[in-house]
Amino acid sequence: MSKTFIIDADAVEKGKTRPISVGEHKLLVCNSGGSYYVIANQCSHAQARLTGGKLRGHKIFCPLHSAPFDMRDGSALGPPATAPICAYSTTVEDGKVFAELTEGQ
86 contributes a contact to ligand FES by CB under 6 A: no
Which residue, 7 or 81, has its beta carbon nearer to ligand FES?
81
67 contacts 76 by C-beta, under 8 angstroms: yes
Give Cα separations from 45 to 30, 65, 73 (angstroms): 20, 9, 17
The residue type at 75: S
Which residue, 29 or 43, has its beta carbon nearer to ligand FES?
43
Residue span 51-80 as binding mask against ligand FES, x where in contact by CB under 6 A, dash where not:
-----------x-xx-x------------x
Give Cα separations from 76 to 11, 21, 79, 84, 87 (angstroms): 27, 23, 8, 5, 11
Residues 18-37 that bind ligand FES (CB under 6 A): none
Interaction site with ligand FES (CB under 6 A): 43, 45-46, 48, 62, 64-65, 67, 80-81
